[in-house]
Amino acid sequence: MNQPYLQVDHVSKKFGTQQVLHDMNFTVNRGEIVGLLGPNGSGKTTMIRLLNGVILPDGGSIRVGTHNPVTDGDPIRRKSGILTEGAGLYHELTGMQNLEFFAKLYGVWDKKRLLDLLEQFDLTAHMHKLAGTYSTGMKKRLGLAKALLHRPELLFLDEPTNGLDPEGIQLVMKYIRELNRTEGTTILLCSHVLHQIQEVCHQYIFMESGRVIEQGTNREIESKYVTETVLRVETGLQPTGDVFADVPVRRVGEQTLEFHLPNKDGISALLRAILLESWVHEAVITNRDLEALYFKVRGEQHE
């Protein structure tokens, strides 16, 4: 089932004298949602522009399906949609006119599709207003509708939820998941809001200073980097020392203790021991969500 779709081999890119990407290597399979993660300036947008054929690499090779972006930029752009920071909208046109313009440009004029997308992104009531008067969130949602007009098989999303309110974030993340599930769209997603993307991504590529420093699923990265289980428990327990039931413990809040276990196997026994002495309202493993893994992966680079 794993069919390589994006293949990046030893890719490098310079802007002037600045080496922005160094020997980049990664593969994304068809139908995956992949998070491209890394701090500001690590080269994520540059990588997307190379995949999309908008700029050319200095070295290495890239495949997007059967295409090489160096020679086949147009076919790739016909099959892909892109949402960038600016969204590329015409502010002097209405929301509807923007979609009409791009649908004609892409040669995919379909009024029903336009109306469906406006409806899906909660823009029907605003479709006759000028895009320049839209809020940041509305522009972002219109940009997404524009990126999806031609039913792309590949979608590049650069910070898709930036500037959206909680309802907008939920709407967009739900749509991304649905699109991938129903149409099998391959999605490369750049975001700094890690708790949002961990709900939708199948795997992650971690970048740092123009290099891939790690790639894998949450589970793969967890098993490689997480060597203990940190359990945060909301409880009335008052341990007398820094060990309880043979587990090291420290107080991190008035009613919150943090236990450090060698692995998950000891959690049930620990909770049973706590419950013999006090109440428990919540127990959460805190060191295996995407944010914790992100810092762990990056931390190892700096050690």
Ligand X SMILES: Nc1ncnc2c1ncn2[C@@H]1O[C@H](COP(=O)(O)OP(=O)(O)OP(=O)(O)O)[C@@H](O)[C@H]1O
Point out which residues bind ligand X (CB under 6 A): 15, 20, 38, 40-46
> How far is residue 73's CA from residue 173's CA, in Å, rounded to a whole number?
28
Nearer to ligand X, 160 or 239 (CB): 160
Alpha-carbon span 198 to 291, nearest angstrom? 9
Nearest CA among 41, 52, 39 for reference residue 15: 41
CB of residue 160 vs ligand X: minimum separation in angstroms?
13
Query: Of 15 and 279, which CB lies nearer to ligand X in the complex structure?
Result: 15
Could you tell me if 281 and 234 are in contact, meaning their C-beta atoms sit under 8 angstroms apart?
yes
Give least dist CB 25 to ligand X, A. 17
CB of 212 to ligand X, least distance (A): 12
Nearer to ligand X, 22 or 67 (CB): 22
Cβ 210 to ligand X shortest distance, Å: 7
**263 C-beta neighbours (distance < 10 Å), count:** 10
The Cα–Cα gap between 285 and 271 comes to 13
Q: Measured from the CB atom, is 43 or 95 closer to ligand X?
A: 43
Residue 82 Cβ vs ligand X, minimum distance, rounded to whole Å: 13
Sheet of 256-261, strands arranged across: 243-244, 247-253, 256-261, 229-235, 280-285
43 versus 65: smaller Cβ distance to ligand X:
43
Q: Which positions ≥6 away from 56 have C-beta within 8 Å? A: 50, 69, 70
